[in-house]
Amino acid sequence: MLRISIFDGDFHGTMEELTHVCDIEGCVIPDDRPPFSLLEESLRVLEMCVERYTVPRPRGPCFTVFIGRMNGTEMTIVVRLDIFARDGLVRAGVEGILPGWDAEPTHYLPDDDVVTIVRKLIAGQLPK
Task: Give per-residue pLDDT as tens, 27-69.
Answer: 999 988 899 999 999 999 999 988 788 899 889 999 999 999 9
Q: Measured between alpha carbons, how far is residue 8 from residues 1, 36, 84, 108, 125 in Å?
A: 23, 28, 11, 17, 22
Using one digit for the tens of pLDDT, what is the confidence trace for 1-27?
A: 999 999 999 999 899 989 999 999 999
**How many Cβ atoms sit within 10 Å of the Cβ of residue 28?**
15
| Domain extent listing, the chain | 2-123
